[in-house]
Amino acid sequence: MVGGPASAAPMSQMGSLRDLTFSDRDFGRIRDLIYRRAGIVLADHKREMVYGRLARRVRAQGLHCFGDYVDRLERDSASPEWDAFTNALTTNLTSFFREAHHFPLLADHVAGAGGRVRVWCAAASTGEEPYSIAITLMEALGGRREFEVLGTDIDTDALARAEQGIYSMEQVSKLPPERVRRFFQKGSGSRAGYARIRPEVAARVSFQKLNLVADQWPVTGEFDAIFSRNVMIYFDQRTQVRILERFAPHLKPDGLLFAGHSESFSYISDHFRLRGQTVYTLAR
């Protein structure tokens, strides 16, 4: 019988191939740190993911074991390495007009609103969602009213990419051709294969770092809609409840809160009631 490929080594052997020491205690400490820092819950099966994502940071610090890396973080609560640590353990899965049924609902909602329209995207990631919101508002309002979109995220690397507003044509080409022509600038020469959000769209969107479990949020005023999609799944129920309670004062009385397709807020908060498919409004 012909043996299997060398890459199919059992996990016990694979562990010995690692160049960094990573113990059960190290994993437990990292789980505790990211929970306290960002509210993110890491299940037991995330251990390999943690090693893969943080190994580069450990090496960058000139260290050979995760325990020393965690010690260094804990010694300096103001270290810039905390951002790199958090960024590495943050998951960014997004695309333009993801969960597309929400955007016509937003368009209908703001069409009947008065005054300046404000929308907050609380998990902006690399920008696709905030820009999708801005495009929706430009199409719905047709220049008749002013609007602004605030995109916040804890991942500073993702926010830097969002502010650039540059995406591969593979990402952009999934949109209708008319939207691509109207809202993107196609690159040429060395920039061929990429597209940039047009300045008139980018001017309506601002980005800011925000940790949803921090004591203070750098957010003021009320919004016509808040997008909090596919972020609550990374928190435990106690954290979810606390965040929803803090969303409520930032939503206008008739405002909409958009959740992800696998999220349900009704059973964990008395502040919101279900209005449509993963769309909520205040329960006042």
The residues annotated with a catalytic role in the active site are 53, 153
Q: Identify the H or E element spanning 147.
A: strand 147-153
CA separation for the pair 157, 247 (Å, rounded): 25
Longest Cα pair distance anywhere in the chain, in angstroms? Answer: 75
C-beta of residue 130 within 8 angstroms of C-beta of residue 162: yes
The first and second tokens of residue 197, run together, are: 């959000």
Nearest to 111 by CA among 141, 144, 145, 143: 141
CA separation for the pair 176, 240 (Å, rounded): 35
Q: What's the chain's length in residues?
A: 284
CA separation for the pair 125, 165 (Å, rounded): 12
Q: Is 103 helix (H, G, I), strand (E, B) or coil?
A: helix
Tell me, letter by letter, the H, E, C secondary structure of 116-146.
Answer: CEEEEECCCCCCHHHHHHHHHHHHHHCCCCC
**Does the CA dihedral 186-95-130-86 come out positive or negative?**
negative
Which DSSP string do the residues of 169-231 spell out, in sequence order?
HHHHTTS-HHHHHHHEEE--GGGTTEEEE-HHHHTTEEEEE--TTSS--S--S-EEEEEE-S-
Nearest to 150 by CA among 213, 204, 217: 204
